[in-house]
Each structure stands twice: as structure tokens, then as C-alpha cells.
Amino acid sequence: MPTIQIPNVPDETHTVLRQRAERAGQSLQDYVRDQLVAEASQRPPSEVFAEVDERVDNADLDIAELAQAIRDGRPRR
């Protein structure tokens, strides 16, 4: 498994992360690794928006059909 080293971490940042790790009952290394894994598992909004833009650009959408589909999907009052 690869290793990541991060030099020049500000003292305050190191302190906050160490405290959070202690509260979580983890070593600093385990805590930071878990945070990195969680971060990497979530797609950033820019990536999601780019995918939506690509799908819209590749779709043959008729605005009237789209508006009707939205109305059809709404609950009746």
C-alpha cells in the first residue's frame, strides 16, 4: 500500500487532528487515513456537474417534453 508524507503541516492543524484522533479512539495515522479515504470516496460537485453537462449535451431534449415530464412527476394536489 502506498505511503503519503505531508511535510510542513501547521502546528495548529496537527494539534486539532491529534485531538480529533484521540476523541475517536484512534492513532493520528489511522484517523488521517480514514479521513482521506472518506474524502476520496465522495465525488466533488465539479465532477458531478461536469457529468451532468456532458449528459445534457449528448441528450436530445425537447423543452416541452421536459416540462411535461417534470409536471407528470410531481404529486397531484
pLDDT in tens, 15-34: 999 999 999 999 999 999 99
How many structural domains compose the chain? 1
Kindly indicate the confidence band of residue 53, based on its pLDDT and cuts at 50, 70 and 90: confident
The pLDDT value given to residue 23:
98
Cβ–Cβ < 8 Å for 25, 34? no
Q: Residue 44: inside a domain, yes or no?
A: yes
Tell me whether residue 74 is exposed, middle or buried, using C-beta atoms within 10 angstroms of its C-beta: 0 to 12, 13 to 18, 19 or more. Answer: exposed
Where in the sequence is the domain holding 24, given as residue range(s)? Answer: 11-73
Within-domain flag for 2:
no
Assess if residue 68 is contained within a domain: yes
CA trace torsion 28, 32, 37, 43 (10° rounding): 160
What pTM was estimated for this model as a whole?
A: 0.61
24 assigned to some structural domain: yes
